[in-house]
Amino acid sequence: MTSWLSIADVSKTFHSAKGPITALQNIHLSVREGEFVTVIGPSGCGKSTLLKIVAGLDTDHTGSVELGGSPVLKPGIDKGVIFQEPRLFPWLTVEKNIAANLSLRNPQVRKRVDTLIELVRLRGFAAAYPKELSGGMAQRVAIARALLRDPRILLLDEPFGALDAFTRAHMQESLLDILNGNRTPMIFVTHDIDEAVFLAHRVVILRPRPGSIHKIVPVPLPFPLKKSSPEFQQLRSTILSEFEQIEQLEQIQGAGI
């Protein structure tokens, strides 16, 4: 399989009033077609910055990002981006939110929107307004909208962070169903270890100051994973012990040793 997304030697420095902050340093990461990568790490380690760079929302960095063989230079519909809050238009119905600026009078758009409504299990809610939806339903509208124009990759920044545990588990399963169906690769940022393992072929652990790749942990288990299985628990504790290492490194750095 060829690499679909290629992040090569990406570094990013913010210039704040307090001086420069190296948010990311020498990031190398490739994502293959149909591959699910989760990114996990302590707050401030550069997860959102990395996603924004891949989305083309931040181009002020060094190194290169290529998607499907072309450099990422700006945001666009080939990159489906989903944030923690669904960011729907409150004055538009579910189907109009999904269609975004395309007309539902176009039969092709109509058909695609109907298919997506089925896919994200919102049948019966096409004419509802965002205020009538639960958090999970609203986030599924955001996913459908991001999928409308067949993005080359889906980029999600803690999209289920505000949901209760049950809705969250259900959303994780539906996301995998949806993406396995059309082989869209994704990068999913989370700070929940269970979520990171459950959704991934590979878990990328970032560490802060400067934001860099600490370790990549493959998840060699068949889908769907059972969170109660010993294999799952094993991976979970592997990641936890990596976090402990990161903390120790931080303490050593903090002590100036």
Which residues sit at the interface with Mg ion, rule CB under 5 A? Answer: 47-48
Q: Report the C-alpha gap between 170 and 187 in whole angstroms.
A: 19
Give dist(CA 172, CA 143) in Å, integer: 12
Question: Does residue number 23 form part of the binding site for ligand ADP (CB under 6 A)?
Answer: yes
Shortest distance in whole angstroms from residue 91 CB to ligand ADP = 30
Give every CB contact of residue 14 below 8 A, 6+ residues apart in sequence: 20, 21, 23
Rounded distance, CA 181 to CA 120, Å? 12
Instruction: Give burial (CB, 10 Å; 0-12/13-18/19+) of 107.
Output: exposed
Count residues binding ligand ADP (CB under 6 A): 12
The H or E element containing residue 19 is strand 19-32
Residue 5 CB, shortest distance to ligand ADP, in Å, is 18
Q: Which does 21 bind (CB under 5 to 8 A by kind): Mg ion, ligand ADP, none?
A: ligand ADP
> Where do we find the tokens 């490194």?
249
Question: Which of ligand ADP, Mg ion, none does residue 80 bind to, with CB < 5 to 8 Å depending on kind?
Answer: none
Measured from the CB atom, is 130 or 211 closer to ligand ADP?
A: 211
Specify the stretch interacting with ligand ADP by CB under 6 A; choose among 26-34, 37-45, 72-80, 224-232.
37-45
Of 49, 93, 97, 139, the residue at the interface with ligand ADP (CB under 6 A) is 49
Question: Binds 112, which of ligand ADP, Mg ion, none (CB < 5 to 8 A, cut-off by type)?
Answer: none
| x/- map, 100-139, ligand ADP, by CB under 6 A | ----------------------------------------
The tokens of 248 are what?
């120790």
Nearest to 201 by CA among 222, 215, 218: 218
DSSP 94: H
243 binds ligand ADP (CB under 6 A): no
Query: Hey, is 184 helix, strand or coil?
Result: coil
Verify binding: residue 190, ligand ADP, rule CB under 6 A: no
Shortest distance (Å) from residue 152 CB to ligand ADP = 22
Tell me if 29 sits within 8 A of 39, measured CB to CB.
no
Q: Does 14 interact with ligand ADP (rule: CB under 6 A)?
A: yes
Binding to ligand ADP (CB under 6 A) within 197-226 occurs at 211
Residue reference for tokens 């998840």: 219
Q: Which residues contact 29 (CB under 8 A, 6 or more apart)?
A: 5, 7, 37, 204, 213
CB 31 to ligand ADP: min, Å: 18
CB 137 within 8 A of CB 125: yes
In the list 43, 101, 103, 228, the residue contacting ligand ADP (rule: CB under 6 A) is 43
Which one of residues 4, 47, 159, 190 is an interface residue with ligand ADP (CB under 6 A)? Answer: 47
Would you state the structure tokens that stand for residue 69, as one six-digit string? 């063989």
Give the residues lining the site for ligand ADP (CB under 6 A): 14, 16, 21, 23, 43-49, 211
